[in-house]
Homo-oligomer: A and B are copies of this chain.
Amino acid sequence: MNEQLQPLKKQPRAGKAGRSGTQDDIVYAHIFEAILEQRLAPGTKLSEEALGEIFGVSRTIIRRALSRLAHEGVVLLRPNRGAVVASPSVEEARQVFMARRLVERAITELAVQHATAEQIAELRQMVNDERDSFSRGDRGAGIRLSGEFHLKLAEAAKNAPLISFQRSLVSQTSLIIAQYESGNRSHCSYDEHTQLIDAIEKRDGELAVNLMMHHMDHIDSKLNLDEDSASDDLHAVFSHLLQTKKPGRSPAKI
């Protein structure tokens, strides 16, 4: 009955470096990770009571976490109808990528100017972690760490509003990648991350921006949102029904 995963005390600290380990942050981080690692498929309903039981907290906490996730765009909050994991449409994905191009360019330029040696070292560490995850076959963690790399880069740009915006964009991007990435292709080559760090360390702004733009190109060239949007949209809409099946191209004859 009261089966819950320990009343939330251990706190593996796996999530972000969030200053305080408040319950909110724990619940938020766990749901967030679960979504990015596709243990929660797009469209899945997130019942407040069920989550509360799982995490051993009341609906109040769950609700706050869901609200935060909704603000970042990875959860959709439907009034009186509960929350579901977001299913970004192709159009939404395009908008996110457009915004990211914009922001990443600015972040790169600023990071070249302001990144400290310590931050550059941290970035290199993150690329290592990312590579390890992929070599371990942990795709979910890889996607998440790849996103955290871009977030760390934003912090080096030293502009609070941009960091906040980037957090939201990276979250949504990760969800989009998890949803749309085609096949087995490695989705975010960490080599590009390394080259980027090198350019930043050499304070070569032009090179860094070029690398970043190519990086953006590579990311969305690996996704399926080019033309066959219809089938992908269907997949998104009905993903909560299909457990593991992934219709390749047929428009789904219901």
Given contacts A18-B79, A71-B71, A79-B20, contact A161 B106 (CB under 8 A): no
A248 to chain B, nearest CB (A): 29
A106 in complex: contacting residue of B73, B79, B102, B162, CB < 8 Å: B102
Pair A98/B159 contact, Cβ less than 8 Å: yes
A165 near B: Cβ within 8 Å?
yes
A95 near B: Cβ within 8 Å?
yes
Tell me which residues across on chain B come within 8 A of A164, comparing CB atoms: 168
Tell me which residues across on chain B come within 8 A of A98, comparing CB atoms: 159
Find residues 60-100 in chain A having any chain B CB closer than 8 Å to their own CB.
64, 67, 71, 73, 79, 92, 95-96, 98-99
A10 near B: Cβ within 8 Å?
no
Pair B19/A162 contact, Cβ less than 8 Å: no
Q: State how many copies of this chain the complex holds.
A: 2
A104 to chain B, nearest CB (A): 11
Q: Which residue of B lies closest to A20 (CB)?
A: B79
A98 to chain B, nearest CB (A): 6
A contacts with B, residue count (CB < 8 A)? 27
A161 in complex: contacting residue of B22, B162, B168, CB < 8 Å: B168
A172 near B: Cβ within 8 Å?
yes
Find residues 128-175 in chain A having any chain B CB closer than 8 Å to their own CB.
158-162, 164-165, 168-169, 172
Pair B160/A79 contact, Cβ less than 8 Å: no
Question: Once bound together, how far apart are the Cα atoms of A106 and B161, in whole Å?
Answer: 16
Which of A103, A158, A168 is most buried by chain B, counting CB atoms within 10 A of its CB?
A103
Given contacts A19-B79, A71-B71, contact A99 B169 (CB under 8 A): no
Q: Which residue of B lies closest to A159 (CB)?
A: B95
Nearest 8 pairs of A and B residues by beta carbon: A99-B161, A95-B159, A165-B165, A102-B106, A99-B162, A95-B160, A96-B161, A95-B161
